[in-house]
Amino acid sequence: MSAPYQPHSETSKAAAESVKDHLPRQQHLVLCIFKAHPDTAFTDNELVDFVANNDLPISRNGVRARRIELLRRKLIVACGKRAGESGRLAIQYRVA
């Protein structure tokens, strides 16, 4: 499996290439967070905070990217919206 990248950007392509060996592990890690908290709906910021607070080996951008991939694979679902830290609406996600 390869990471998504912007075809017109060499740096984006290089970044995708650099993480390709870690993708399955990182996807599994993010999916495990959702599975371990089946009654919790996470916004992206909450998911990133959870990873940071638990010293998990994945970057902030990596968390969001893996969440997008899991959503595309229908392993997690969008389940509502609520105000985030900024006061703007943020989409919530939970395990499918």
CB of 79 within 8 A of CB of 93? yes
Task: Specify the number of domains making up the chain.
Answer: 1
6 φψ region: left (φ > 0), alpha (ψ -120 to 50), beta (else): beta
**Does 1 map to a domain?**
no
**Does 39 map to a domain?**
yes
**Does 49 map to a domain?**
yes
Domain hosting 66: range is: 10-95
**Does 85 map to a domain?**
yes
Please give the Cα distance from 44 to 1 (Å, whole number). 23
Encode pLDDT of 42-82 as tens digits. 999 999 999 999 999 999 889 999 999 999 999 999 999 99
Provide the pLDDT for residue 5.
58
Q: What is the pTM of this model?
A: 0.75
Which domain CATH number covers 62? 1.10.10.10
Instruction: Evaluate if residue 39 carries a pLDDT over 60.
Output: yes
β partners of residue 37: none
What percent of the chain has pLDDT above 70? 81
Provide the pLDDT for residue 24.
84
What are the angstrom distances between the C-alpha of 38 and each of 32, 71, 82, 95? 10, 15, 18, 6
**Does 70 map to a domain?**
yes
